[in-house]
Structure 1
Amino acid sequence: MSLTRPTEDGDELLARLGSLTAQARELAELQRSRVELAVALQRGMLPRDLPVAPGFHLAVRYAPAYHGLNVGGDWYDAFTMPDGRIGLSIGDVQGHNIEAAAFMGQVRVCLRALASVTSEPGELLSRTNDLLLSLGTDLFATCTFMRLDPATGVLESARAGHTPHIWATQDGRSGIADDEGGPPLGIQQGMEYAVTRHRLTTGGVFVLLTDGVVEGPSLSIDEGLDQVVRLAGIAAVAGMEASSLAAAVMKVAERVGHEDDAAVLVVGHDGPAARR
């Protein structure tokens, strides 16, 4: 009886296992490279500096989801528009891959470019929506765009399917904005977006965020938003700096129970304590 065949079969099995292991390693390296590229793309498209206006402070926090093979398309932006007002945007692209990260860049660039043509938030979202649809992509994005007039404290907001923002005043009032809103960008041509006017009073704050901050398996969106409302209310009454409030809100994202992009943008109006 020959004893060589079992050995040959064993060698062949080991060779196949080695080949499969090498292929799996190559695939993992490829996926890791794609994730690293997407994260670099995300960070490279976010603004390096925030606008400065007397009496107002902007603060941001951003945590990309690059655990495992997922990377999302959340973004924030803030820039001075030609008319001297400040444009603020925050949004979330559907999907968790490099395509989502690239589409995020397209949305952000569209908003900035079109803001040189019109700064009216509703019209800006409508034009951005139509331009994105002309690109022929299957992706879509939720977004909130605000126009802040530093001279008056007036904030005009338009929302495209995005998580509502939070407000709080120095006298202890706080809540979730009830802007009418419209569908996400990139869904249907010819959409119109209603504009809601707010006023940021002395000592008040506005908090814009993405759903990765307030929603997940361990936290419903209503619970998450309520937590942010409480934080914003405390911050306004206590005269907390915008950067401290942004950091506190980002802590909520650690309790949602999943890995997802998380972005926070806080607008604060200096109160008496801040000017001393």
Structure 2
Amino acid sequence: MFRKRATDDGDELLARLGSLTAQARERAELQRSRVELAIALQRGMLPRDLPTARGYRIAVRYAPAYHGLNVGGDWYDAFRMSDGRIGLSIGDVQGHNIEATAFMGQVRVGLRALASVTSEPGELLALTNDLLISLGGDLFATCTFMRLDPATGEVESARAGHIPCVWATADGRSGVSEDEGGPPLGVQEAMEYPVTRYRLTQGGVFVLLTDGVVEGPSMSVEEGLDQVVRLAGIAAVAGLEAHALATAVMKGAERVGHEDDAAVLVVGHDGVLGG
């Protein structure tokens, strides 16, 4: 009797372990499917082509987070506007899941659509903010939008709660932009977003990025931005192409020890002005 009961107990334990293993496998498959869906959705919402302009180079690098369901949130975009100028945007949505990816798509599409109404960066962010508020929802996004005039090199920038960009010139100067900025998009209606004007001179660069590039467990945002300032300064003086700088900045992001998305957008002026 004792041996039979022990055998029965062992069989029951094995059966339970088998059932738990099967359930764990099903959950893992479901998790993997959801991650693959989020990645596909995310990549499908990013631009396939970047605009071109005589004398200018635009380069992007993107590294999505692949930790659990931490996929989605960051985006970049660059497109030619109806007035001939180039719109550049980069941003980060609160959260890291499929919902954040979908919201990212709404923000990016909203910016592009409303750019046909106004290309002025401050007004564009204000309109996009009001649009997101009207759609409801609990998510918000930080964003920088720049308008570049290829004919003059003038850059107009507005920020919505996003980290500042980095700049560098061919004569060895570099730093972090000091524009005022406004609140994130989707938090409160009827917000204003001040515009700061710069000039992109020959050999100069602007580096737009998300906080996953410069902030993490191993590095503060100040240290991360200083790292990008040094890289941008070296690239501008050495005459490196925008693609090389974007790659170097993304490589440096590995030092922050983050588990977040990371996006970099570099625009450089390497020739004569012209649309």
Shared fold per TM-score greater than 0.5: yes
Show the 5 A alignment for 1:34-53.
34-53=34-53
Identity of aligned residues (%): 84
Partner residue in 2 for 1:233 = 233
Partner residue in 2 for 1:167 = 167
Show the 5 A alignment for 1:138-217.
138-217=138-217
Structure 1: how far apart are the matches of 2:169 and 2:47?
A: 28
Structure 2: how far apart are the matches of 1:35 and 1:179?
A: 37
Structure 1: how far apart are the matches of 2:225 and 2:200?
A: 20
Conserved 8 A contact 2:154-2:200:
yes
Gaps of at least 5 residues in structure 2 are: none
Q: How big is the shift at 1:259?
A: 2.0
Bigger Cα displacement from structure 2, 99-108 vs 62-71: 62-71
Output one character per residue of 1:85-129: Cα deviation in whole Å (capped at 9) or x when no partner: 000000001111111111111110000000011101011111111
Structure 1: how far apart are the matches of 2:74 and 2:160?
A: 14
Structure 2: how far apart are the matches of 1:66 and 1:247?
A: 20
Question: Could you tell me the TM-score, scaled by structure 2's length?
Answer: 0.96
Partner residue in 2 for 1:269 = 269
- RMSD, matched Cα: 1.1
Output one character per residue of 1:245-271: Cα deviation in whole Å (capped at 9) or x when no partner: 000000111111122111000010015
Gaps of at least 5 residues in structure 1 are: none
Structure 1: how far apart are the matches of 2:262 and 2:169?
A: 24
Conserved 8 A contact 1:239-1:271:
no
Question: Could you tell me the TM-score, scaled by structure 1's length?
Answer: 0.96
Partner residue in 1 for 2:76 = 76
Conserved 8 A contact 1:171-1:237:
yes
Conserved 8 A contact 1:72-1:260:
no
Output one character per residue of 1:27-57: Cα deviation in whole Å (capped at 9) or x when no partner: 1111111111111111111111110111111
Conserved 8 A contact 2:54-2:271:
no
Query: Secondary structure at the residue paired with 1:254?
Result: helix
Partner residue in 2 for 1:223 = 223
Aligned partner of 2:18: which letter?
Answer: G
Q: How big is the shift at 1:21?
A: 1.3
Partner residue in 2 for 1:102 = 102
Output one character per residue of 1:131-153: Cα deviation in whole Å (capped at 9) or x when no partner: 11111111111100000000110
Q: How big is the shift at 1:72?
A: 2.8
Partner residue in 1 for 2:4 = 4
Aligned partner of 2:119: which letter?
Answer: S
Structure 1 runs of 4+ off > 6 angstroms? none
Aligned partner of 1:187: which letter?
Answer: V
Partner residue in 2 for 1:92 = 92
Structure 2: how far apart are the matches of 1:249 and 1:9?
A: 59
Partner residue in 2 for 1:122 = 122
